Structure 1
Amino acid sequence: MELPIQLKSLADKINLLKDKIETEESTKHAFVLPFINILGYDTFNPTEVVPEFTADLGLKKGEKVDYAIMQNDEPILIVECKNWKEKLTVHNSQLFRYFHVTKTRFALLTNGIHYQFFTDLDEKNKMDEKPFFEFDISQLKDSAVNEIAKFHKSNFDVNKILDNASSLKFIKEIRKQIDTEIQNPSPEFVRLFASKIYSGRLTEKVMEEFTELVQKAFGQLIGEKINERLHFALNKEVIIQEKDQIEEAEESKIITSEEELDAYRIVVAILRRKLHIQRIVHRDTQSYFGVLLDDNNRKPLCRLHLNGGKKYIGLFNADKNEVRQQIQTIDDIYLFEKELLETVGLYENE
């Protein structure tokens, strides 16, 4: 199951169950552990996920962080959980204390719905006060899913995440500033535009007028952009529907003959020397019967032209150009065993 689908499924589950979840412990088991599982880590394997993780904090003994995700016996992500009803705050958080005594570069604070990821961009080995990445699982955007994917076990790369963390952090702050300026333009923001289009003196009265004008201008601009996107989306949907209707009409004209299926079985018998049968897929069209590797149009294995007066097998060279060879009967396909297996080799070498 793909990551977006898994996250959507968890979000639906949270929405359904949250009113029945009363404690922090229940939040962990119902919301947080499934999220860690989605990231590809086995929550039942103590070499991957350690609950109640303890680190040596000098004189302060016995403190624990809720979970540590491990790699090569070292924590790569420490996780502190709160009850889903609680707001997240890093003040007095155990994450701060644990961050500098472990080798981890990432910490996660979550209540199972809102997730905040931290690192040490401001000062080495000291956790930043502000997260570089955060999201609400009930309102996930595609951009957030892409960032979550970087923490998946199969993708996890400390350096790649750190390289991107700084950009994420600054983009988030810039967006906040832009939103603030649009809602309530500051004198500096208004002056930036007024000075470019107004030649007179920017008196207090002029600034008041331009504050209102700047606010209206941005409101209109955003509204127009939204309408453009909606118009584009609607037109795209119409085009897709028309394309689907054309494809359905074309498919209704395709008739796969028993001879084509027999020929396909011969091709499969030859190719099975190098390929698992599930990787050999046929796709019939109005002009030819195609045989593909992995159901991929860019990996044609051969084409069978059997519906005309003469019969041909279309073979593919190194440039993926089709070369037709005439055959008298479909049994002649066995004569091209070498060429068919060579075509498989071309794709395997890619």
Structure 2
Amino acid sequence: MEFAERLAALALKVENQREAIQTEEATKNAFVMPFISTILGYDVFNPLEVVPEFTADVGVKKGEKIDYAILRDGEVQILIECKKSTEPLRIEHASQLFRYFAVTNARIAVLTNGEVYHFYTDLDAPNRMDEKPFLVLDLGDIDETLLPELLKLSKDVFDLDSIVNAAEELKYVGALKRAIAAQFREPSDDWIKFFATRVYEGSYTQKVREQFTSLVAKASKQFLTEQVNDRLKTALGTSAIPVTPTAAAEEAVTSQPAAQADLDRDTEIETTLEELEGYQIVKAIACSEVKPQRVVHRDSKSYFAVLLDDNNRKPIARLHFNGKKQKYLGVFDAEKVETRHPIDSLDEIYAHADAIRGAIAGYLA
């Protein structure tokens, strides 16, 4: 399995098990140890590679422990401190990392709750851990541009010099992207004024600010949608990819067995952005069973099909997103009988992950 696929599989595991994890110890066992072993490639059961409860006396602090130390050639290279998955990460959680960073050879420190990983180094002062991370990995929203840098920390291609050299740019580019994303989600007064004064010729009064608060938010969302649409249209060679609305839930419906289907494609078919996003979720779930290139999609006038090996006799799921009132996810049993489940948001596809994997397992068997 490729690096990105392993990361996607771990992200899905975190998504599915998050609610069941209530303690720091459970977070370590369920999320952090798999990250160290399957993503970074270190043997968590080999004390020459990974030392749990690593101890180093720090000044007057005696016997303090840090959750994990990763070693290479007998030297500590990476320190990892864990918090329980239900807690958001704060710099106050990193006090032990600060102390240990100064007394070991480690150049990389990681603070994590199992879902979000903050990576630190010593850009601001030698042998002193920075207060701001140079890389933030969120398994709930993976930034694929970070994967090459994360790969450099893995056992097989460990390249500390390259990571440290790129850390400053990563730090500020990442911080800027998060700041911009925050403004798109909830524009600040400064952001609103910045744009309003460039398009509105009158005085910037309280009334104008209130008016442009919603206008800036609306324009920002439309701009992002148009940018994504343009990229999809280029990739798909289509002229229009309208975004379909969401709606309320209804009862699940069981339909007839999947037969030849998927053959009624014609020039009137419109592939929507929402269908493609749903396909990516189904594909991410399927990657735990098969290689991603085996999972393909075919659009038709009545539904959007996700297939194994581009074979219409091997349906994995169907996205019924063309209706105006309700969206449905269609999943299949061993007899290829489709059951349609109403969904109000794309995230609800994850609730049917077992059925999606079960369909694939049936074809592989």
* TM-score interval for Structure 1 and Structure 2 normalised by the shorter chain: 0.5 to 0.7
Choose 1 or 2 for highest CA Rg: 1
1:192 and 1:233 map into 2 onto residues whose CA distance is 28
Q: Which has the higher contact order (CA 8 A, sep 6+)?
A: 2
Matched ranges for 1:127-138 at <5 A: 127-138=129-140
**Identity between Structure 1 and Structure 2 (%):** 38
Superposition TM-score, scaled by structure 2 size: 0.56
Q: Determine whether 1:152 maps to 2:154.
A: yes
3-state SS of the aligned residue for 2:140?
helix
3-state SS of the aligned residue for 1:171?
helix
Matched ranges for 1:112-127 at <5 A: 112-127=114-129
In the alignment, structure 1 segments of 5+ residues that lack a partner are 240-350
- C-alpha distance after superposition, 1:1-48 (max 9, x if no partner): 101111111122223333333432222122111111121111121111
User: Deviation at 1:238?
Assistant: 5.1
Corresponding residue number in structure 2 for 1:89: 90
User: Deviation at 1:49?
Assistant: 0.8
Counterpart residue type for residue 79 of structure 1: I
User: Deviation at 1:54?
Assistant: 1.3
User: Deviation at 1:67?
Assistant: 0.7
3-state SS of the aligned residue for 1:100?
helix
2:188 and 2:87 map into 1 onto residues whose CA distance is 33
Q: Determine whether 1:194 maps to 2:193.
A: no
Note closer, same or farther for the CA distance 1:188–1:126 as it changes in structure 2 (3 Å cut). Answer: same
In the alignment, structure 2 segments of 5+ residues that lack a partner are 239-365
Note closer, same or farther for the CA distance 1:97–1:189 as it changes in structure 2 (3 Å cut). Answer: same
The two structures, once aligned, show a CA RMSD in angstroms of 2.9
Note closer, same or farther for the CA distance 1:40–1:230 as it changes in structure 2 (3 Å cut). Answer: same
Note closer, same or farther for the CA distance 1:160–1:15 as it changes in structure 2 (3 Å cut). Answer: same
Contact 1:40 1:152 in 2 (8 A): yes
- C-alpha distance after superposition, 1:275-321 (max 9, x if no partner): xxxxxxxxxxxxxxxxxxxxxxxxxxxxxxxxxxxxxxxxxxxxxxx
Higher helix share: 1
Contact 1:115 1:136 in 2 (8 A): yes
Contact 2:187 2:216 in 1 (8 A): no
Q: Determine whether 1:143 maps to 2:145.
A: yes
Corresponding residue number in structure 2 for 1:169: 171
Superposition TM-score, scaled by structure 1 size: 0.59
Corresponding residue number in structure 2 for 1:20: 20
Note closer, same or farther for the CA distance 1:86–1:222 as it changes in structure 2 (3 Å cut). Answer: closer
1:79 and 1:42 map into 2 onto residues whose CA distance is 15
